[in-house]
Structure 1
Amino acid sequence: MLTRRYLEQKLKMHHLRAVEAIILHRSLLKGAAALGITQPALTKTLQELEDILQQRLFDRLPRGVRPTEAGDLFAQFSRRLLAEIRRLDEELDRLSGPEGGTVAIGTLPVAATGVLPGALTRLKQQHPQLRVRLEQGRTEDLLPKLASGEIDLIVGRLYEPSIPDGFLREPLWEEPISVLARLDHPVFRLPEITMAALRPYDLVLPTVTQRVGQEIEVFLERLALAPTSSLRSSSYGFIREMLHGTDMLSIMPRLMMAGDLLRGTLKVVPLPEKAPPRPAGIILPPNRVLPAPAHAFLAALRAHVAEIGERGLTSITTSNSSAAESDRTRSRRRR
Structure 2
Amino acid sequence: MEKDNFRLRIRLRHIHCFLAIAQEGNLGKAAERLRLTQPAISKTLAELEDIASCKLFERDRQGARLTPQGENFLRHALGVLEALDAVSDSIGLDPRPESAVVNIGVLPSVGADLIPTALARFRRSHPLARVAIRTAANAPLLDMLKGGTVDFVLGRMADPHMMAGLSFELLYVEPLALLVRAAHPLASATGVSLGDIIACPLIVAPPGTVPRHRTESLLQAHGLELPSHCTETMSVSIARQLLLRTDAIWFAPSGTVREDIAQGALVSLPISTKGTEEPVGLLLRSDAAVTPVAKDLLRVLREMAAERRLPGER
TM-score (norm 1): 0.71
Q: Which residue of 1 aligns with 2:255?
A: 255
Q: Which runs of 5+ in 1 are unaligned?
A: 319-335
- Which letter does structure 2 place at the counterpart of 1:281? G
Secondary structure of the residue aligned to 2:5 is coil
Q: Which residue of 2 aligns with 1:112?
A: 111
1:11 aligns with 2:11: yes
Q: Which residue of 1 aligns with 2:242?
A: 242
Q: Which residue of 2 aligns with 1:182?
A: 181
Whole-Å separation in 1 of the counterparts to 2:285 and 2:65:
29
Whole-Å separation in 2 of the counterparts to 1:29 and 1:205:
35
1:205 aligns with 2:204: yes
Equivalent pair of 1:181/1:266 in contact (CA under 8 Å): yes
Whole-Å separation in 1 of the counterparts to 2:145 and 2:60:
33
1:55 to 53, 59, 63: 53
Whole-Å separation in 2 of the counterparts to 1:225 and 1:77:
46
Secondary structure of the residue aligned to 2:247 is coil
CA shift in 2, pair 1:176/1:272, >3 Å: closer
C-alpha displacement of 1:173: 1.4
C-alpha displacement of 1:271: 0.7
Equivalent pair of 2:194/2:219 in contact (CA under 8 Å): no
Deviations 1:214-243 (A, max 9, x none): 222222333536558332233322211110
- Which letter does structure 2 place at the counterpart of 1:43? S
Secondary structure of the residue aligned to 2:160 is coil
Q: Which residue of 2 aligns with 1:154?
A: 153
Deviations 1:36-69 (A, max 9, x none): 5443222222233344x16243466664555556
Whole-Å separation in 1 of the counterparts to 2:295 and 2:141:
19
Whole-Å separation in 1 of the counterparts to 2:78 and 2:266:
43
CA shift in 2, pair 1:243/1:135, >3 Å: closer
Whole-Å separation in 2 of the counterparts to 1:65 and 1:240:
37
Whole-Å separation in 2 of the counterparts to 1:47 and 1:272:
58
Whole-Å separation in 1 of the counterparts to 2:67 and 2:159:
31
C-alpha displacement of 1:257: 2.6
Q: Which residue of 2 aligns with 1:330?
A: none
% of aligned pairs identical? 26
- Which letter does structure 1 place at the counterpart of 2:283? I
Q: Which residue of 2 aligns with 1:328?
A: none
Q: Which residue of 2 aligns with 1:170?
A: 169
Secondary structure of the residue aligned to 1:111 is helix
Matches within 5 A, 1:35-50: 35-50=34-49
The alignment covers a number of residue pairs equal to 311
After TM superposition, which residue ranges in structure 1, 4 or more long, deviate above 6 angstroms?
86-93, 147-150
CA shift in 2, pair 1:317/1:117, >3 Å: farther
CA shift in 2, pair 1:186/1:144, >3 Å: closer
Whole-Å separation in 2 of the counterparts to 1:266 and 1:276:
20
Whole-Å separation in 1 of the counterparts to 2:230 and 2:107:
25
Whole-Å separation in 1 of the counterparts to 2:71 and 2:305:
39
C-alpha displacement of 1:11: 0.9
Secondary structure of the residue aligned to 1:186 is coil
- Which letter does structure 2 place at the counterpart of 1:57? K
CA shift in 2, pair 1:210/1:151, >3 Å: closer
Whole-Å separation in 1 of the counterparts to 2:168 and 2:252:
23
Q: Which runs of 5+ in 2 are unaligned?
A: none
CA shift in 2, pair 1:126/1:183, >3 Å: farther
